[in-house]
Chains A and B, each alone.
Chain A
Amino acid sequence: MNTADQYLKAIYLAQRIEEGPASTGTLADLLEVSPASVNEMIGKLEEKGLVEHEKYKGATLTDEGLERAHDALQTYCIIERFLTNVLEVEEFRDEARALESVIDDTVADRLDTIIDRPGECPDCFDPEHDHCERLESPGTGTGTGTQCD
């Protein structure tokens, strides 16, 4: 997943957390980068028509940006679910974050052929807890590590 897609995903999640435009501060926290880096990238995404930015309010995804963010989040969900269900990784959130920049969506699609993912993915992603709300694993505190559904 490239850097732009990681930003779009973060904006999508920040919009859900804040129930409105994504603020620079929230994005900087989610992406673990400086506010200046966020502002620079928001400018680039705005030029590409993927984001609308309103001063003092924040960034909002356009329809095209939303579609790409959705795809990026789906790729991320596949990585998390793969780590949990196939490799049985407890610290799957940290590891998924470390791996997402190296895993391409075509690779994620192949991994997706062996995992059981809910049909409504990625809408069931919980942005507050940074994982699918239907993912059962010792790492989520919601189950025993067995496959969801």
Chain B
Amino acid sequence: MSLGQRVSTDRQLTRLLQIGVVLEEVVESRAAHHLETLSPEERDAVDEEVRALLVDAAEESADHRDRLEKLIADLEAETVPYEEINALVDAQYGPPEDTDGVLYDQLANEETAYKFYDDLIGAIEASDSEFAVDRERLLETLRTLREEEREGAEEVTEIMERRA
């Protein structure tokens, strides 16, 4: 058991980055599912702003995944293919009831990813360990991802406030 919140081995770091990839894949897949599972009438009722948000979220997650995968490749490990995660999302997916539900889910996605990157950055900073990947590049990438998740959460919150 590790009682200190720190990352001390390449294996631990690799697993956490792999988890980051899966979280991004879940966001991407759920954003796509939200639109796909709505009936034609409900889909028409989703306004352009929310539709654009979901498309942007899926694109941003794909980009985040790509950046994490480059780090994981430097650690000589692999990631779970998107198709596998998409199938798992599909098997367990319960669609939100309406547009507000879609927005809440999207907000939860962004906040969860933010929290994950924030904890991971803290755990790397708390460690003196040398990793097989350059430490500064690793932290810089994760800080960028964290910032983009923060902006994403703000964007969803603004849309929710406008709709309230």
| A103 CB, min distance to chain B CBs, angstroms | 7
Which B residues lie within 8 Å of A146 (CB)? none
Of all chain B residues, the one with the shortest Cβ separation from A6 is: B3
Question: For this complex, into which size category does the number of interface residues on chain A fall?
Answer: 20 to 34
B45 contacts the other chain (Cβ, under 8 Å)? Answer: no
Number of A-B contacts (CB under 8 A): 94
Given contacts A86-B80, A99-B12, contact A107 B5 (CB under 8 A): no
**Of B18-26, B49-57, B135-143, the one with at least 4 CB within 8 A of chain A:** B18-26
CB-based contact A87/B18 at 8 Å: yes
| A1 CB, min distance to chain B CBs, angstroms | 9
**Of A29-37, A58-66, A67-75, A134-142, the one with at least 4 CB within 8 A of chain B:** A29-37
CB-based contact A98/B116 at 8 Å: no
CA distance A31 to B84 in the complex (A): 35
User: Chain A, 64-100, contact with B by CB distance < 8 Å: what is the 0/1 string?
Assistant: 0000000000000000001100110100000101111
Chain A to chain B: the 6 pairs with minimum beta-carbon distance, closest first: A114-B88, A97-B1, A110-B112, A102-B123, A101-B5, A107-B116
